[in-house]
Amino acid sequence: MADLNETHDPTRRSWVEAANAPDCDFPIQNLPFGVFQSPGRAPRGGVAIGDMIFDLKVALDAGLFSQSAQAAARAACAPTLNALMALPPRQVSALRRDLSEVLRSDGPDRRRIEKMAGDLLVPMQQASYRCPAVIGDFTDFFTSVDHVTRVGRIVRPDSALPPAFKHLPMAYNGRTSSVVISDTPVIRPRGQKMRGNGDVEFAPTRALDYELEAGIYIGAGNALGTPIPLRAAPEHIFGLCLLNDWSARDIQRWESVPLGPFLGKSFCTTISPWIVTSEALAPFRVPAAARAKDDPLPQNYLQDAADRAEGAFDIDLSATILTAAMRSKGQAPARITLTNLNTLYWTAAQMIAHHTCNGCNLQPGDLLGTGTTSGPTDESRACMLELTAGGKQPLKLPDGETRAWLEDGDEIAFHGRAHRDGFVPIGFGACRARIAPALSA
Amino acid sequence: MADLNETHDPTRRSWVEAANAPDCDFPIQNLPFGVFQSPGRAPRGGVAIGDMIFDLKVALDAGLFSQSAQAAARAACAPTLNALMALPPRQVSALRRDLSEVLRSDGPDRRRIEKMAGDLLVPMQQASYRCPAVIGDFTDFFTSVDHVTRVGRIVRPDSALPPAFKHLPMAYNGRTSSVVISDTPVIRPRGQKMRGNGDVEFAPTRALDYELEAGIYIGAGNALGTPIPLRAAPEHIFGLCLLNDWSARDIQRWESVPLGPFLGKSFCTTISPWIVTSEALAPFRVPAAARAKDDPLPQNYLQDAADRAEGAFDIDLSATILTAAMRSKGQAPARITLTNLNTLYWTAAQMIAHHTCNGCNLQPGDLLGTGTTSGPTDESRACMLELTAGGKQPLKLPDGETRAWLEDGDEIAFHGRAHRDGFVPIGFGACRARIAPALSA
């Protein structure tokens, strides 16, 4: 198993009481980084603990960090975390150890620290979030066999799995300017599409979809021309978030031969505000998904025993829908997807090794999407395209409504949770957004 | 014709003598912006004039700019030009007028200014260049009918022109991290490809190609969710450069179904250092390329009379090759492409209107590639894939060498030149790079 240390100790508890609740996403074993702002506090780095945000700048100014954590703490105070991500992992790890010491319920300085709680902690409900990094490039992968097979059957009945799929982790370049933080409304995009009668029209999409993905933030980068070998790739993963790769299927279908997705995706991509670090996720690493007996052996640069043994993450992922009608009746969101990040055919490290095998340079803060995380079961279908067989079999919601695709007012929320016997489960918080109507033409 | 002013006056000459030579790319009518560094000068904005770079910081500190040009001059001094690009066009225009006054041979302050020439001017041969902007997103279009048709016949014999080609300006998201400035070596990429016998291999590309394109820098951006109408699009074009969209055809072919180009392109994109502004190019605007009678009428958001009348740029574009053998024999580069930017099916303004029609936001410094600028004639084929029919008919060079694809040591250089009767021609300088061998595995 990947290196564990005292920050993973399941007996450790926090003096921030909400962090000790069994269903809390942010126990002291998590300590994810994000960028927040609140009345009187300009945008800056923070750490989620229970229902609070720990203000790193206040803590730094109060002298709460040891010498070994100073560099990381200074970088983590900034309004973007790129400088933090660029640091060697051991420096981020040093900050994490200090944070765990400062926030633990039985630390020697607890009394002194808790007296500063009014300054150190900001209630999450008083804060708003920013994109935690300047994302230089966003790459979206396509690594779920089940997603690709189901979509292939709908869109290209003659060839369900692209020829290269089992030889390399397929991907395309995404759009960074329209990556937005959770709770930013998604404006229904207009676009060109071909109607059933063969006419081309320009109109608001009629096939708006979500895609439940994880996002991978790159830490240290590589120089142009110098690939990252698979064995070294895990050190380049700063952490993970949840990512909704919103898709307009009608626009996508019409535009994407032969250059791939463009305007069908670039109108919006939503990310969750908190970055759960590689170190926090170490206990939840599991073997990469099994390959079928007749699957091709990957090329050498995509083969590594350690990656096979613990290259995947055991993280339950879910999507819920809350329609306008459900909201007005005070109903709870309905779960429409339950899947796990460990079902992907390729690991995060393989994505990085492949991405850089041609010499392409990754930079701190670059974002990789895993692709839709569908598994083999019906409940694990992770987008409407799969759930409704391309809009042909509308989804029945608990309140009697149906959905072929998403409608205005629908709110989609993702959650993720990692668990393993003997460890405290950790989560990601919400990746959530509501569909707003198309602007008038 | 687009607005002209005294900076376009063909009788105006500069006291920088080299700027008055008839074949000079940088007469006083051009005044392109770039970012340079030289011994004793940290990276900063400059303007090309003749064989010199005019140092904007030195000029600003010397008080050479009027009040109306101050904001633009300050922004243009920075080590990246994004802040300059974000300004309203009239402010950039004010700076351009002042620059023309300062550099003209018959200005009232000529004597005083020329005395400062040692500080104001840096010989180009003493300088090196930087990417002139932080490129938030790079989008590569695919807008030459002739390129797409020829390539289509080679790669997809059953369908030469993609179905949407004449309905919308097709594009894909490119990679920004590997956009490099002219004269940066291009390291031959490794990658996966399928061999003739059906085996998959990982090896250095055997099908390295150039693509002769123009790059379009976005000036002022748009808010997410708010498209830029076609009529307003020209105001969002800060200026143009030359762009080499290097391509590894074997890697590209294997990976790109159905998500489009990825590692076959992301190893390197070369740009020329100077940005020729929209204002400098105003005299060289010409009608958009004619459409065939049976071509579909574009959707309303892609139709505008002014864009039809002067949406294209009359810019001759050329590519030369200089092989290692030619270099060792002291031979001159051999021209292998001669085309014109006015052959493209879609205009730059249509690219912008389409790019943002789904609400996608463009930002100052974003870069759009036009796509390979091939025209109908044989000499206008603007990549090796077309010139050699996919490597099957090797190109014969003047020294007797042949090339199916580019080899190590080959240097490709692009030049561009706009001309029109009654106006002083202007150019772009070189977009040039040499192929370096693949690094050892």
Which residues of B39-131 form beta strands (DSSP E)? Answer: 41-49, 52-55, 121-123, 128-130
The residues, ordered by sequence, that sit 6+ positions from A395 with a Cβ below 8 Å of its Cβ are A336, A384, A387, A388, A402, A403, A404
Q: Residue B153 — very low, low, confident or very high, per pLDDT cuts 50/70/90?
A: confident
Q: What is the pTM of this model?
A: 0.98
Nearest to B224 among A178, A201, A362 (CB): A178
**Cross-strand partners of B315:** B418
Q: Residue A158 — very low, low, confident or very high, per pLDDT cuts 50/70/90?
A: low
Catalytic residues of B: 147
Helix ranges (DSSP H) in A256-360 = 278-281, 305-310, 324-328, 348-356
Phi first, then psi: give them for residue B57, nearest 5 degrees: -70, -45
Nearest to A357 among B190, B360, B362 (CB): B190
Q: Residue A159 — very low, low, confident or very high, per pLDDT cuts 50/70/90?
A: low
Q: What is the distance between the terminal CA atoms of chain B, rounded to a whole angstrom?
A: 55
Q: Residue A1 — very low, low, confident or very high, per pLDDT cuts 50/70/90?
A: low
What integer pLDDT is reported at residue B1 of this predicted model?
A: 53
Q: Average pLDDT, stretch B283-293? A: 96
Q: In this complex, do B267 and A299 lie within 8 Å of one another by their Cβ atoms?
A: no
Minimal C-alpha gap between A441 and chain B (Å): 10
| Residue B327: strand, helix, or coil | helix
Residue of B nearest to A134 (CA): B136
CB B325 within 8 A of CB B411: no
**A175 vs B contacts (CB less than 8 Å):** 137, 173, 360
CA nearest neighbour of A251 among B164, B95, B206, B295: B164
CB B18 within 8 A of CB B50: yes
Q: In this complex, do B257 and A136 lie within 8 Å of one another by their Cβ atoms?
A: no
By CB atoms closer than 10 A (0-12, 13-18, 19+), residue B268 is buried
Task: Please check the confidence at residue A440 and state whether its pLDDT lies above 90.
Answer: no
CB B268 within 8 A of CB B186: yes
**A164 vs B contacts (CB less than 8 Å):** 192, 254-255, 257
The alpha carbons of chain B give a radius of gyration, in whole angstroms, of 22
Longest alpha-carbon distance in chain B: 73
Residue of B nearest to A201 (CA): B299
Give the separation between CA B43 and CA B38, rounded to whole angstroms: 8
> Residue A110 belongs to what H/E stretch?
helix A110-115
Nearest to A225 among B164, B260, B439 (CB): B439
Minimal C-alpha gap between B244 and chain A (Å): 16
**A361 vs B contacts (CB less than 8 Å):** 177-178
CA nearest neighbour of A234 among A133, A351, A144: A351
Q: Residue A439 — very low, low, confident or very high, per pLDDT cuts 50/70/90?
A: confident
Q: CA B88: distance to chain centroid?
A: 22
Nearest to A162 among B136, B177, B258 (CB): B258
**A261 vs B contacts (CB less than 8 Å):** 259-260
What integer pLDDT is reported at residue A3 of this predicted model?
A: 80
**A251 vs B contacts (CB less than 8 Å):** 358
Amino acid identity at B237: I
> Residue B434 belongs to what H/E stretch?
strand B431-436
**Is this prediction's ipTM beyond 0.95?**
yes
Q: In this complex, do B360 and A260 lie within 8 Å of one another by their Cβ atoms?
A: no
Q: Average pLDDT, stretch B362-386? A: 98
Q: Average pLDDT, stretch A112-118? A: 96
Task: Please check the confidence at residue A270 and state whether its pLDDT lies above 90.
Answer: yes
Task: Give per-residue pLDDT as tens, B173-225.
Answer: 999 999 999 999 999 999 999 998 989 999 999 999 999 999 999 999 999 99
Task: Please check the confidence at residue A60 and state whether its pLDDT lies above 90.
Answer: yes
Taking all residues of chain B, what is their mean pLDDT, rounded to a whole number? Answer: 96
Q: Average pLDDT, stretch A376-380? A: 97
Q: In this complex, do A172 and B172 lie within 8 Å of one another by their Cβ atoms?
A: yes
Give the separation between CA A256 and CA B69, rounded to whole angstroms: 44
What integer pLDDT is reported at residue B196 of this predicted model?
A: 87
Give the separation between CA A71 and CA A73, rounded to whole angstroms: 6
Task: Give per-residue pLDDT as tens, B17-40.
Answer: 999 999 999 999 999 999 999 999
- Give the tokens for residue A431: 């990746």
Task: Give per-residue pLDDT as tens, A275-305.
Answer: 999 999 999 999 999 999 999 999 999 999 9
Q: Average pLDDT, stretch A65-93? A: 97
Taking all residues of chain A, what is their mean pLDDT, rounded to a whole number? Answer: 96
Task: Give per-residue pLDDT as tens, B245-277.
Answer: 999 999 999 999 999 999 999 999 999 999 999
What integer pLDDT is reported at residue B26 of this predicted model?
A: 98
What integer pLDDT is reported at residue B440 of this predicted model?
A: 78
Q: Which of A147, A354, A355, A415 is catalytic?
A: A147
Task: Give per-residue pLDDT as tens, A233-257.
Answer: 999 999 999 999 999 999 999 999 9
CA nearest neighbour of B435 among B384, B388, B373, B398: B384
Give the separation between CA B355 and CA A263, rounded to whole angstroms: 7
Task: Mutation target for B interface from A194, A195, A246, A262: give the one with most B CBs within 10 A.
Answer: A262
CA nearest neighbour of B132 among B238, B281, B278, B274: B274
Percentage of chain A modeled with pLDDT above 70: 98
Pairing of strands A52-55, A121-123: antiparallel
Nearest to A263 among B163, B191, B358 (CB): B358
Phi first, then psi: give them for residue B99, nearest 5 degrees: -60, -40
**A360 vs B contacts (CB less than 8 Å):** 175, 177-178, 263, 266-267
What integer pLDDT is reported at residue A281 of this predicted model?
A: 98
Task: Give per-residue pLDDT as tens, A178-232.
Answer: 999 999 999 999 999 999 898 999 999 999 999 999 999 999 999 999 999 999 9
- Give the tokens for residue A133: 């990094």
